[in-house]
Amino acid sequence: MPGNSNLTDSRNAKADEFYTPLSMIENELKHYRNHFKGKTVLCNCDDPRVSNFFRYFVMYFDVLELKKVIATCYKNDDADLFSQENVEKAVYLEYDGTIKYTGEEDFAKIPCKELKGNGDFRSQECVEFLKEADIVVTNPPFSLFKEYIPFLFKYNTKFLVIGNIINITYNAIIPLIKENKMWCGINDGHFWFQVPPHYEEKKTDFKIENGIKYRRMGNICWYTNLEISRTHEILETGKRFASEKYERYENYDAIHIEAVTDIPMDYDGAMGVPVTFFTKYNPEQFKVLGLTDSTDCSPEVEKVRIPNTFRGRGMINGKQKYARILIQKIGK
């Protein structure tokens, strides 16, 4: 098992210390209600005493017709713990609906149990919870995302998790997208998250309400392998191709697309699009070739790369552009 120090480091990193607001969870999960009937849900990156994911599933337990909800907490020895209390033991909560939820006071009635280990989601103890679960729903540590997603696939787990849209460009993630094994959920964009008391105040995208600090994060999206209608919606930008309107890369046989709204609907060749394309991606309409990146040597990318040219980001007028996703219309 990977060293526990990795998880400790990530939990102490400010980039991982964000609490998901209940409203954000409600706005996304309302689109997946048909997936939860009779299912066991695991929130394996959540302090169950303060997690809004666990709170959501307890509140909507009967509405979703769930079987059980499990939430596990990673032990953190830092006295400045984000969970607002110094956890001496890793803990977990199980809820099966026996204690009926009628209000906030009922959360305290759910018994909190100690884990034998430290609550690392990769520990054997937590893996057993994963094997029991039908669906994982959580906000995993951003710094461990490229390890967390393959971990879920290893155990053939259905999931709905929060991440950054840039996560798609990871070598461990892009093949899963290309093979249509996972996709973006419904909502994306900028969202407010609660951050710990020690979080440094910032001039922008930061606020304090009732003594609680919040940070707004951009490029946030949901990732899932649960079937949703969005992935079958046809993208229509209304744009048509004209050679004078679209620049071509010097090292790829592809045109450069500045924004998703600029994708020409009548162009059959390869296109380099921004990563935000995946929030509109329909695998029945487009195929993903790969990345304009030096690490992507896949046959699909090499096929459109111009021989004996720079392998990496697309070049225009001798300058590298931002990394792009290479796509092409289906059937061409």
Kindly list the averaged pLDDT for each block of 10 residues, start to end, along the chain of length 332: 41 64 97 97 86 94 97 62 51 92 87 88 94 96 92 97 95 94 97 89 92 93 97 96 97 97 97 97 96 92 94 94 95 64
Domain boundary among 230, 246, 275: 230
E strand map for 252-329: 254-256, 270-273, 286-291, 315-316, 319-320, 325-329
The per-residue pLDDT for 108 is 84
Same domain, 206 and 282: no
Residue 76 has what pLDDT? Answer: 55
Angstrom distance (rounded) from CA 50 to CA 24: 15
* Rounded-to-integer distance, Cα 238 and Cα 161, Å: 32
Let me know whether 120 and 132 are in one domain: yes
Cα–Cα nearest to 325, from 296, 288, 286 = 288
Do 292 and 166 belong together in one domain?
A: no
| Range of the structural domain that residue 258 is part of | 233-329
0.85 exceeded by pTM: yes
pLDDT score for 105: 86
pLDDT for res 47 = 77
Q: Pick from 177, 198, 230: which residue ends a domain?
A: 230
The DSSP code for 144 is G
Q: CA angle, 176 as apex, 122 and 184 as ends, to 5°? A: 95
**Confidence (pLDDT) at 88:** 60
Spatial contact of 195 and 20, defined as CB atoms under 8 Å apart: no
Total domains, the chain: 2
State the Cα–Cα distance between residues 286 and 328, nearest whole angstrom.
6
Predicted local distance difference test score (pLDDT) of residue 84: 41
In this structure, the answer to whether residues 247 and 160 fall within a common structural domain is: no
Residue by residue, DSSP assigns 242-261 as -TTTS-B-SSBSEEE-SSGG
